[in-house]
Structure 1
Amino acid sequence: MNDFYEKFRNLTFFDNHPEAIANHLDNFYTSEEITVFHEMVSPDFHLDVYFISSAKHSFNILLTCGMSLLEMTVPEGVENAEQYKFAELMILIPKEIEFGEVSPSENENDWILGMLKETARFPHHYDTWLTIGHTLQATADMEPYDQATDYVGLVVLPSVTFDEEFTEIKIDNKVINILSIFPLYKNELEYKIANGYNALLDRLIEKDEKEVFNKQRGNLLDQ
């Protein structure tokens, strides 16, 4: 455990990125439309979640702020690797999904926030990266994120709701990418692992699935 803490003490933090994210959001939303779930204790790096509720959308937004404090470990050989080093994660949620005033709480939807934050921490804990097409599972045994859901993992997707004006934050000749996450059932995750991202994407298109999170959507593999 001491080695874990020591690792993060010795990394380079880009402390100006959270301010850049806040300034970016100010271009699209008023302060009244934005709430922040502040992280009270951070064992590695500080990771907050923005909750954006605007009348101009039929959905709300959860957006991490802190994943881009550290650069991800993009493998050698990836073309334009610099463009993938920094990211934050977003999920669009229905208006009726509510959270407690603080997080964590006893709210039944807290697992959604937990899923976001666990995913945002993953690349830094395991010296890897996340980008479009990548999948993650909640546990090694593909157990659900929480007893309140059957989702066991997720796939990283490009947003089809927002364009690059919103999903790319430019700062100091770098870019912070805002990536969307889409929760998956066990057989869907297994299907993607076996058949690849494009096959899963075809299923999403065939089913006309929306980017907005659905607690109990139909299975992509059902006929």
Structure 2
Amino acid sequence: MKTKVNTATTLQLYSKRETEKIEAYIERQYGKIEDVMHELIPSNIHCDIAMIPASNNCPYITLVTIGAGAYKMNIPPHLKKYKLERAEYVIFLPKDWNIKSDKEEDYWPIRMLKNLARLPIYTDSWLMPGHTVTMKEDSSPVASNTKFNSCALLDSINKNDEMVKGLKLGLFGDRVNFWQVLPLYEEELKFTIEHSLGGLLELMQEVPLIVDINRLSLCK
């Protein structure tokens, strides 16, 4: 991926109609939105976080960004036919996760989503399934209560365990994709770089997509 820094400062926003369409689509795919964590000081994009609470069918909290896809990522020419320019990001948390807390031990999944949302802007690049991202420059863990230090992106799964298809914003408009965020340990990140994400996913077939800060590493 490119590392060129994009210095653009124009605020990229969805229209009101586009936002409403995306929110409705999120509810069809993941469940009813109970709360939206609004960004108070937007930069480049206005990245809110929709929260879908745990339910009997989905015993986990779902967080989905709303606003990341307002920015069109710099996709290489040979990938443009796949309409990957726009994306929102999804993460599943345990049903007892304290999403109201501002302690880093609780807040890091939200920070991870927001950082991913802006990474393509800051680096003038793109994100898609198969990409991995180290969350801190020194590769240290994201918080003191876990050793996760990175993440991988996958096609997102909805409440029916089906792959979420991209949403067309208009009859001839762009498509907004939904990428699942899977936190990784450092050794899992190294394994992915050396053997591809597919190799890691083969090891993770029995591992749920719900964040577990204490799960065993698959590469030790």
TM-score, shorter chain, exceeding 0.5? yes
1:216 matched residue in structure 2: 214
Kindly provide the CA deviation profile for residues 127-146 of structure 1, in whole angstroms up to 9, marking residues without a partner as x. Answer: 11111100000123211112
Matched, 1:159 2:160: no
**1:111-190 correspondence runs (5 A):** 111-161=108-158, 162-164=161-163, 166-172=164-170, 173=172, 174-190=174-190
2:25 matched residue in structure 1: 24
> Quick one: which amino acid aligns to residue 43 of structure 1?
S
1:44 matched residue in structure 2: 44
Structure 2 residue ranges without an equivalent (≥5)? none
1:209 Cα shift?
A: 0.9
Aligned residues of 1:159 and 1:211 also touching (Cα < 8 A): no
2:76 matched residue in structure 1: 75
> Quick one: which amino acid aligns to residue 192 of structure 2?
K
Aligned residues of 1:203 and 1:220 also touching (Cα < 8 A): yes
| In structure 2, C-alpha distance between the alignment counterparts of 1:90 and 1:26, rounded to whole Å | 13
Aligned CA distance change for structure 1 residues 107 and 195 (closer, same or farther; 3 Å): closer
Identity %: 24
TM-score normalised to structure 2 length: 0.85
Structure 1 residue ranges without an equivalent (≥5)? none
Aligned residues of 1:100 and 1:106 also touching (Cα < 8 A): no
- Equivalent pairs counted in the alignment come to 209
| In structure 1, C-alpha distance between the alignment counterparts of 2:28 and 2:198, rounded to whole Å | 34
Kindly provide the CA deviation profile for residues 72-102 of structure 1, in whole angstroms up to 9, marking residues without a partner as x. Answer: 1101212624x2111100011110112217x
Aligned residues of 1:99 and 1:107 also touching (Cα < 8 A): no
Kindly provide the CA deviation profile for residues 157-177 of structure 1, in whole angstroms up to 9, marking residues without a partner as x. Answer: 12345424x442222132211
2:92 matched residue in structure 1: 92
Aligned CA distance change for structure 1 residues 151 and 107 (closer, same or farther; 3 Å): closer
Which ranges of 4 or more aligned residues in structure 1 deviate by more than 6 Å?
none
- 2:41 is paired with a residue whose SS is coil
- 1:109 is paired with a residue whose SS is helix
1:204 matched residue in structure 2: 204
Aligned CA distance change for structure 1 residues 26 and 209 (closer, same or farther; 3 Å): closer
Structure 1 range deviating more: 70-79 or 183-192: 70-79
- 1:78 is paired with a residue whose SS is helix
1:12 Cα shift?
A: 5.8
Aligned CA distance change for structure 1 residues 25 and 94 (closer, same or farther; 3 Å): same
Greater RCO, 1 or 2 (C-alpha within 8 Å, sep 6+): 2
| In structure 2, C-alpha distance between the alignment counterparts of 1:185 and 1:107, rounded to whole Å | 18
TM-score normalised to structure 1 length: 0.84
RMSD value over aligned CA atoms?
2.3
Aligned residues of 2:54 and 2:95 also touching (Cα < 8 A): no
| In structure 2, C-alpha distance between the alignment counterparts of 1:125 and 1:74, rounded to whole Å | 14
1:54 Cα shift?
A: 4.5
1:6 Cα shift?
A: 6.4
